[in-house]
Amino acid sequence: MYRLLIIDDEPAICASLSFALEDSFSVAEAHSAAEGLRAIGNREFDIVLLDLKLGLDDGVEVLKQIKTEKPRMVVIMMTAFGSIHSSVAAMKAGAFYYLTKPINMDELRMLLDKATGYLDLESKVQYLNNKLTEVYEVGGIIGQSNAMQRVVAQIEKLRNVDANVLITGESGTGKELVAKALHFGGTRQNEAFEAINCAAIPLELLESELFGHEKGAFSGAVQRRKGLFELADGGTIFLDEIGEMDLKLQAKLLRVVQDKEILPVGSEQRKKVDVRILAATNRDPRQLLREGKFREDLFFRLNVVNIHLPALRERPDDIPPLVQFFFTKYSRKMGRAVPKIDEAALAALTHHPYQGNVRELENIIEKTMVFLSGDVVRLDDLPLEVRQGSFPDKTAPAGDLIPVRIGQDMDTIQKNVILATLDHFQGNKQKTAEVLKISERKLWYKLKEYE
């Protein structure tokens, strides 16, 4: 039940309103400005019915004090001295609505219905904002490896500043998640977050999507439409796959970054926008510069700070907690208990190469959960592509990685793999050969070559 406070210096009016509304609200009364403000300071109220004249006190001034202390509180003004001037002053001070005495109870009840509807909506918006913050704040990024802890530290430093950020990393590493953590954990969290994949929209439409267009600007433009920059005014825009944007459009984007102005398609009037720009690419931006596919001036404007997300296969320590996170997520979605996972299945998941990174891991866990019949995930429950690369006999390394540099010849790579595996099994040639799927004789010949 919503809590309602009536502030009126006429006790008879307070009593009659209380009697009429007590079935629908938890009602309290105050007979002076001081008493009303004291009540608001001591208790939580949702709605206030406030008289415009409280003895020598001005109700509008009381309204201003209420709004300073409780900006979300709904205040409805009441007065026997109705005038355009007083109603305008009350509305400017933050009144929800304005009623004249004698109060029409049907009108008051209808107005209170609107007020409670507004409060319901406010509550839902606040709940969703809290959930977004909970999901996308830094704490929502799963990763205990040193590489991911560095990313988290960067986000912590950058979320409350307006510097443009370029986020790099392979597809599926979580670039948009980082962008949302920067937005929803920072000072712009209550404003809009707009995201667009620059590679997914044809060039002729991308300009309109970003900057908007005027009616008649092109065939099919039957009305004016705001672009994402205008929709994100005051908030953040995330430009994913910025490296795929056409050079001509990059030049127009550069003007926006420099001047904080947009020019809608078909318009001659520029519009000021206050937008933080976060961009991302899964390609090496400096290689794009060398190839002439990325404007150097735009790159340096967007790359004020760079956050690089490592591939999942480069941080195997993060796989077990991610596996647990996704099992919990999909268990909740499917309304079932969170399963346990045995060692062989976890080892297989840890050794999988994950060309699609975290996104691929999530897909694997979702697929596993769809077909899982028991309460323990075993090796046979995992998709075939994971089982094929697994070591069910537990003879394989559980967490060792062997670095391979670009351009390294195959003989050197083979030598590094053989020697590292032999070292892992403490010189046991039989286990080494078994894991590498070669004969012990061939292993012996290879070791002789490396002497």
For residue 423 the two structure tokens come to: 């070292």
Please say whether the beta carbons of 294 and 250 come within 8 A: yes
Pairing between β-strand 261-262 and β-strand 376-377 as defined by DSSP bridges? unpaired
Domains 3-127 and 137-310 share a fold: yes
For residue 201 the two structure tokens come to: 């929209």
Q: What is the pLDDT of residue 204?
A: 78
Tokens 């994402």 label which residue?
228
Rounded to whole angstroms, the Cα distance separating 217 from 85 reads 44
List CB contacts of 446: < 8 A, sequence separation 6 or more.
414, 415, 418
Q: What is the pLDDT of residue 395?
A: 42
List CB contacts of 377: < 8 A, sequence separation 6 or more.
327, 339, 340, 341, 342, 345, 368
Give the closest residue to 377 by CA, choosing from 385, 365, 388: 365
Give the closest residue to 188 by CA, choosing from 66, 277, 109, 115: 277
Please say whether the beta carbons of 264 and 211 come within 8 A: yes
Q: What is the pLDDT of residue 100?
A: 83
Please say whether the beta carbons of 265 and 218 come within 8 A: yes
Long-range pairs of 251-254 with CB within 8 A, sequence gap ≥ 24? 251/295, 251/298, 252/207, 252/211, 253/210, 253/298, 254/295, 254/297, 254/298, 254/301
Q: What is the pLDDT of residue 367?
A: 94
For residue 405 the two structure tokens come to: 């540099």
Asked, as a colleague might, if the bond just before 102 is cis with ω within 30 of 0, I would say: yes
- Residue 237: strand, helix, or coil: strand
Please say whether the beta carbons of 73 and 49 come within 8 A: no
First to last CA, the chain: 83
Tokens 């790579």 label which residue?
413
Give the closest residue to 376 by CA, choosing from 332, 339, 321: 339
**For every one of its 451 residues, what pLDDT tens digit does the chain have, with 9 covering 90 and above?**
789 999 999 999 999 999 999 988 999 999 999 999 999 988 889 999 999 888 888 888 999 999 988 888 999 998 876 565 666 777 888 899 888 888 899 999 999 999 999 888 887 776 666 555 555 555 568 888 999 999 999 999 998 999 999 999 998 999 999 999 999 889 999 899 999 999 888 887 899 999 999 888 887 787 888 999 999 999 999 999 998 899 999 999 999 999 999 999 998 899 999 999 999 999 899 999 999 999 999 999 999 999 999 999 999 999 999 999 999 989 989 999 999 999 999 999 999 999 889 999 999 999 999 999 989 999 999 998 898 765 444 444 444 567 676 777 788 888 888 888 887 777 888 778 878 888 777 888 788 888 7
List CB contacts of 218: < 8 A, sequence separation 6 or more.
208, 265, 266
Q: What is the pLDDT of residue 140?
A: 61
> How many other β-carbons are positioned within 10 Å of the β-carbon of residue 61?
13
Looking at 3.30.930.10, 1.20.1440.230, 3.40.50.620, 3.40.50.2300, the CATH number of the domain 3-127 comes to: 3.40.50.2300
CATH architecture assigned to 137-310: 3-Layer(aba) Sandwich (3.40)
Tokens 């699609």 label which residue?
356
Q: What is the pLDDT of residue 422?
A: 85
For residue 449 the two structure tokens come to: 């070559």
Tokens 């984007």 label which residue?
253
Q: Which letter, b or e, does each residue of 145-174 get, where b requires 16 or more Cβ atoms within 10 Å of its Cβ?
A: beebeebeebbeebbeeeeebbbbbbebbb
**At the topology level of CATH, where does 313-387 sit?**
Helicase, Ruva Protein; domain 3 (1.10.8)
Q: Which CATH class is domain 410-450?
A: mainly alpha
For residue 209 the two structure tokens come to: 């999507």
Domain ranges across the chain: 3-127, 137-310, 313-387, 410-450
Q: What is the pLDDT of residue 398?
A: 42
DSSP string, 73-96: -EEEEEESS--HHHHHHHHHTT-S
Pairing between β-strand 276-281 and β-strand 236-240 as defined by DSSP bridges? parallel
> How many other β-carbons are positioned within 10 Å of the β-carbon of residue 393?
10
Q: What is the pLDDT of residue 400?
A: 57
List 366's β-bridge partners, or say none: none
Q: What is the pLDDT of residue 397?
A: 43
